[in-house]
């Protein structure tokens, strides 16, 4: 599933080609996504000028003059820039054609993503209860420490909770805990303030690095330009169960936490 760096990479790729352009036509070939594409999306969006392309957590916000298109890539979705009128391949569900001659195409084999319309997107039911952005000023180690007090759940699912902080998915939670030397199985409430300060720093550093690398290429993620990200080449823990630890040379172990694979070093992480 595309995580925050992949979504931010997509946003950065498509924003310069969308902002300031006018939508000339919307073609909806398949409305049956995770939630149905609004039947009147073409009426609402056609003729509108796109003002801004933003992001909240893993949701893309394409702000037009009279409303905002909320996009989610789901498990396998992508938004790619193509020439308007290009023949639709399989799973090309929506085209948003622009006055520049380009089109934004939503492609999703599993149809688990979403394209929704809202006049007030930050108050939409999918967004209004989300925690702070991990790269924003509202997120820090003190927040993690305070919210974790009395919590018996493991620290890894704790930092993956979108009410605590958004966008720290399985890949980046695994890497951040490895970098901070924290065992992902530890109870969230048992970790000190100092260690949470370190963990927050590593979350920010790793997410920023992943964005700079264009995201992580897992399965079929590609950015808005159709190119894959390459952060996967720098992963030190995720997907490396049974391999050697790059710090101590020991063997990395893999366990299940919250139905997710979690890789850690029993020597380096405590």
pLDDT tens per residue across span 7-42:
999 999 999 999 999 999 999 999 999 999 999 999
∠ CA(138), CA(159), CA(139), 5° rounding?
10
Q: Give yes or no: 21 in active site.
A: no
Query: What residues pair up with 116 in beta bridges, in sequence order?
Result: 70
Helix/strand/coil percentages in the chain, nearest 5? 25, 25, 50
Residue 93 is assigned to a ligand binding site:
no
Number of domains observed in the structure of the chain:
2
Q: What is the per-residue pLDDT across 135-152, written as a single tens digit (0 to 9) for each?
A: 999 999 999 999 999 999
DSSP, res 152:
-
| DSSP result, 58-74 | TEEEEEETTEEEEEE-T
On whether residue 22 sits in a domain, the answer given is: yes
CATH number at residue 222: 1.10.8.50
Question: How many Å apart are CA 113 and CA 106, to the nearest integer?
Answer: 9
Q: Mean pLDDT, to the nearest integer, of 44-57?
A: 97
CATH number at residue 71: 3.20.190.10
Q: Give yes or no: 2 in active site.
A: yes
160, 217: one domain: yes
36, 75: one domain: yes
Contacts of 94 (CB under 8 A, 6+ apart): 26, 27, 28, 29, 30, 37, 105, 106, 115
Structural domain span for residue 101: 4-123
Question: How many Å apart are CA 173 and CA 155, to the nearest integer?
Answer: 10
Q: What is the per-residue pLDDT across 65-75, written as a single tens digit (0 to 9) for each?
A: 999 999 999 98
Q: Give yes or no: 270 in active site.
A: no
DSSP, res 202:
H
156, 248: one domain: yes
On whether residue 9 sits in a domain, the answer given is: yes
pTM of the entire predicted model: 0.88
Q: What is the mean pLDDT of the chain?
A: 92
On whether residue 269 sits in a domain, the answer given is: no
Residue 110 is assigned to a ligand binding site:
yes
């Amino acid at each position: 599933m595309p995580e925050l760096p992949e979504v931010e990479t997509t946003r950065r790729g498509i924003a310069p080609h969308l902002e300031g352009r006018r939508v000339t036509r919307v073609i909806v070939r398949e409305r049956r996504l995770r939630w149905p594409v609004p039947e009147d999306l073409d009426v609402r969006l056609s003729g509108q000028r796109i003002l801004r392309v933003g992001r909240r957590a893993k949701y893309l916000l394409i702000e037009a003059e009279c409303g905002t298109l909320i996009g989610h890539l789901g498990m396998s979705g992508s938004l790619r820039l193509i020439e308007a009128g290009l023949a639709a391949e399989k799973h090309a569900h929506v085209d948003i054609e622009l006055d520049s001659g380009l089109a934004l195409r939503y492609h999703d084999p599993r149809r688990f993503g979403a394209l929704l319309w809202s006049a007030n997107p930050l108050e939409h039911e999918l967004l209004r209860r989300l925690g702070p952005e991990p790269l924003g000023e509202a997120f820090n180690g003190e927040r993690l420490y305070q919210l974790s007090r009395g919590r018996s759940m493991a620290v890894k699912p704790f930092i993956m909770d979108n009410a605590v902080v958004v966008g720290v998915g399985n890949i980046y939670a695994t890497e951040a805990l490895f970098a901070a030397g924290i065992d992902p199985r530890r109870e969230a409430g048992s970790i000190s303030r100092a260690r949470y300060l370190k963990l927050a720093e590593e979350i920010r550093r790793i997410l920023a690095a992943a964005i700079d690398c264009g995201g992580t290429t897992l399965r079929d993620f590609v950015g808005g330009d159709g190119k894959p990200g390459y952060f996967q080449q720098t992963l030190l823990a995720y997907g490396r169960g049974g391999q050697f630890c790059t710090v101590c040379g020991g063997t990395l172990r893999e366990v299940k936490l919250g139905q997710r694979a979690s890789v850690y070093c029993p020597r380096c992480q405590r």
